[in-house]
Amino acid sequence: MDEQSMFFTSTIKIIELAKLIYSGHKSVEINKEIAPLLQMILAMEENILSVKSYISKLEEENKTKSQELVKFLKWEETEKQYELQEVAPGIRLQVKKEGIKPEETPYWACPKCWYDFIAVPLNKVHDDSYTVGYQCPRCEKRISWFTGKPFQYPDSGIV
């Protein structure tokens, strides 16, 4: 029985019950009429709870999707401030473009965090005559390469 027909049926039962009470019938007859009515009311309350639970779930999903959208829109703005540069043969990293406000010390962004929509500067952890290494403080990804000669930073200003 769908909700609309259940509503009409319960309305009819209530009217019949009111007629029984008004006409002075015995309480046994009245109780017989009340039992199915109470079952219908209980079924309707269960449906209402089910619908409320579903609405709550949808609201939570909507909130999560809205937060993801805001994060993505903010990331689009951040992403426009960087460009992919080859820092060593075969190694490309995101570098903040020059002239972008606010001015920051140039840095290379962690490629793993970059794909998680976070621009995290790599920290220098190793430098000797022939190799250089960087590590992300967030995900601890290490990037290093063999230079074959004393390493010199490109003109990007990164130290």
Q: Which of 18, 38, 68 is the last residue of a domain?
A: 68
**How far is the C-alpha of 12 from the C-alpha of 39, rounded, in Å?**
14
Asked, for residue 140, whether it belongs to a domain, the answer is yes
Asked, for residue 73, whether it belongs to a domain, the answer is no
Domain extent at residue 60: 3-68
Asked, for residue 106, whether it belongs to a domain, the answer is yes
Residues 139 and 85 in one domain: yes
Cβ atoms of residues 133 and 127 within 8 Å: yes
Q: Which of 18, 33, 68 is the last residue of a domain?
A: 68
Asked, for residue 120, whether it belongs to a domain, the answer is yes
Cβ atoms of residues 95 and 105 within 8 Å: no
Domain count for the chain:
2
Query: Can you give the pLDDT at residue 28?
Result: 67
The tokens of 120 are what? 């995290």
Q: Which of 21, 43, 68 is the last residue of a domain?
A: 68
Outline where DSSP puts E strands in the chain. 82-88, 91-96, 108-109, 123-127, 131-135, 142-146
Whole-prediction pTM value?
0.50
* pLDDT digits (tens), the chain, 159 positions: 566 676 667 777 777 766 666 666 666 666 677 777 778 888 888 888 899 999 999 999 999 999 999 988 888 888 888 888 888 777 888 888 877 766 667 788 888 888 888 888 888 887 676 788 889 999 988 888 777 665 555 555 554
Query: Can you give the pLDDT at residue 53?
Result: 92
Asked, for residue 152, whether it belongs to a domain, the answer is no
